[in-house]
Structure 1
Amino acid sequence: MSLLKWLFRRPEVNQQDQQRLQALPAAAMPGEQLLTQQRFVVVDLEATGLHTGRDKILSIGAVAVEHNGIAMGQQFERTLKRREVKVNEAVLIHQIAPSELATGIRPKTALLDFLEFVDDCPLVAFHAGFDQRLLQRELRDFFGYNFKHPFFDLAEVAPLLNPDHCMRQPRMDDWIDYFKLNVMQRHNAAADALATAELLLIFINQAQKQGILTLKQLDTALHNWRRRQGSSM
């Protein structure tokens, strides 16, 4: 196969998977949706490493936030079948046993299940760029699917709304401690998504108090914050 054909090759997708892909709604872009009414999907991915160009998703954890609360009946968790993945530091950190990866859900099915759970909603994560790029690559590799859903990064939202935090490059655990949240478990996709959802609710409340009421206003505020950060470097 020539390099050109390899670069533009289309993955094989069976008819059932193709039908599920075609039934997915288009992503809703940030507009006048009120933050307090919007359904967000908070997601956390556990992967074999931090290289979004080659590492693989091991598990997906997600929870819906809507009407200014965590929708406990709308939680999502999948461990993907990855027989080829060897036990390494990433697997040990995430506490995913090799037997779980060997008996997990077919990756294509897990990813389609997740897309259907997301529907047309924006996604939220901490250091969202990693989750976004990894999802985009895996969906492109498996289906040739262009994942366009907007992501909101709480690693940016947090300092935007709390400019006087006085922490140096705070991590998620730092913000959990800052707000004195009682988080029972970490480094597990479902548990991390739930902890991130608790932070999101705090930030939605703070945004309201600061006059940021809609998705568009939040998106604009983040854009301006990034520009200020860039100009101060």
Structure 2
Amino acid sequence: MNLFQWLKPAKRAKAPELTAEQVQRLSELPRTATLSEQPLRQQRWVVLDLETSGLNMNRDDVLSIGAVVIEDGAIDLGQQFERTLSRPDHKLSPSVLIHGLGPSAIAAGSEPVEALLDFMAFVGDSPLLAFHAPFDQHMIGRALKESLGYKLQHPFLDVAEIAPLLFPQACLRQAGLDDWTAFFGLHAEERHHASADALVTAELALILFSHARKQGMDSPLQLEQDLAKWRRRQQSHSF
């Protein structure tokens, strides 16, 4: 490589091509949301789960989005979201054995731009919850950036962190969703399906919110602040 090649700027990703209607819908989406000091029961939450083509956060794609709403301290089954995204270039991978989304289901899916616009309209300005949230946050954020040119700035809280924060006696710090649902005696009708996993995550979150209030964490902002302290303690103990 010569000097001029080294100085050449990196190739930018091609800007997404949107219709006038899609551009209008995009402009109406909230760009950000903040964690409030209102009581947990008064906060609308969107609980998210994704099925993806694999676990590589920079290469694999979102195949399915499932979400449910917690509002007024309960799961609102009238507010649910589910989409499978069409991925023409998707190749059969071992992940199909987990999520069951074969080529025919992917081919019949929704066009990604429309599906993602619908999802963000569903989210509105609500914060999001997920189990192992950094993965879902990165994957949905990358999909939104690539398909819409939209930068996701909504807060994400990780149920996988909230659980050991509130229940250190469970000794399940590195546990998965199945471990925590078993700990609380929850029953998941179906697993590795985005909507079903979002629903059981929401059920787990409601249990945790109840215990958070008893421990003096009665607002989204307070919960996040206590989570940040918990993370620092975990990091200090790891050295």
> Structure 1 length as normaliser, TM-score?
0.95
1:74-109: per-residue Cα shift (whole Å, max 9, x none)? 010000111221222112210113111111100111
**What is the match of residue 19 of structure 2?**
14
CA RMSD of aligned residues (A): 1.5
Tell me, yes or no, if structure 1 residue 121 matches structure 2 residue 158.
no
1:110 corresponds to which letter in structure 2?
Answer: A
Q: Which has the larger radius of gyration?
A: 2
How far apart are residue 3 of structure 1 and its match?
5.7
Is this contact kept in 1: 2:63–2:84, CA < 8 A? Answer: yes
How far apart are residue 12 of structure 1 and its match?
2.3
* 3-state SS in 2 of match to 1:231: helix
More moved, 81-90 vs 128-137: 81-90
**What is the match of residue 82 of structure 1?**
87
**What is the match of residue 73 of structure 2?**
68
1:4 corresponds to which letter in structure 2?
Answer: P
How far apart are residue 6 of structure 1 and its match?
2.4
1:141 corresponds to which letter in structure 2?
Answer: E
* 3-state SS in 1 of match to 2:9: helix
Is this contact kept in 2: 1:33–1:214, CA < 8 A? Answer: yes
Cα distance in 2, alignment partners of residues 163 and 172 from structure 1: 16
Tell me, yes or no, if structure 1 residue 36 matches structure 2 residue 41.
yes
- Give the total of aligned pairs: 232
Is this contact kept in 2: 1:27–1:121, CA < 8 A? Answer: no
Is this contact kept in 1: 2:47–2:130, CA < 8 A? Answer: yes
How far apart are residue 26 of structure 1 and its match?
3.6
Residue correspondence of structure 1 range 125-136 to structure 2 within 5 A: 125-136=130-141
Residue correspondence of structure 1 range 44-59 to structure 2 within 5 A: 44-59=49-64
**What is the match of residue 151 of structure 1?**
156
Cα distance in 2, alignment partners of residues 192 and 144 from structure 1: 28
2:135 corresponds to which letter in structure 1?
Answer: F
**What is the match of residue 213 of structure 1?**
218
More moved, 152-161 vs 23-32: 23-32
How far apart are residue 65 of structure 1 and its match?
0.4
How far apart are residue 24 of structure 1 and its match?
1.0
Is this contact kept in 2: 1:159–1:165, CA < 8 A? Answer: yes
Is this contact kept in 2: 1:40–1:121, CA < 8 A? Answer: yes
More moved, 92-101 vs 129-138: 92-101
1:69 corresponds to which letter in structure 2?
Answer: A
Cα distance in 1, alignment partners of residues 172 and 220 from structure 2: 26
> Structure 2 length as normaliser, TM-score?
0.93
* 3-state SS in 2 of match to 1:156: helix
1:55 corresponds to which letter in structure 2?
Answer: D
* 3-state SS in 2 of match to 1:124: strand
1:206 corresponds to which letter in structure 2?
Answer: H
Is this contact kept in 1: 2:96–2:102, CA < 8 A? Answer: yes
State the percentage of identical aligned residues: 50
Evaluate the alpha carbon distance shift between residue 10 and residue 86 of structure 1 in structure 2; reply closer, same or farther with a 3 A threshold: closer
Is this contact kept in 2: 1:24–1:119, CA < 8 A? Answer: yes
Cα distance in 2, alignment partners of residues 71 and 220 from structure 1: 27
1:11-34: per-residue Cα shift (whole Å, max 9, x none)? 322211111110112432112122
Tell me, yes or no, if structure 1 residue 228 matches structure 2 residue 233.
yes
**What is the match of residue 3 of structure 2?**
none
**What is the match of residue 102 of structure 1?**
107
**What is the match of residue 178 of structure 1?**
183
Matching residue within 193, 202, 205 for 2:207? 202
Cα distance in 2, alignment partners of residues 102 and 3 from structure 1: 38
Cα distance in 2, alignment partners of residues 9 and 59 from structure 1: 23
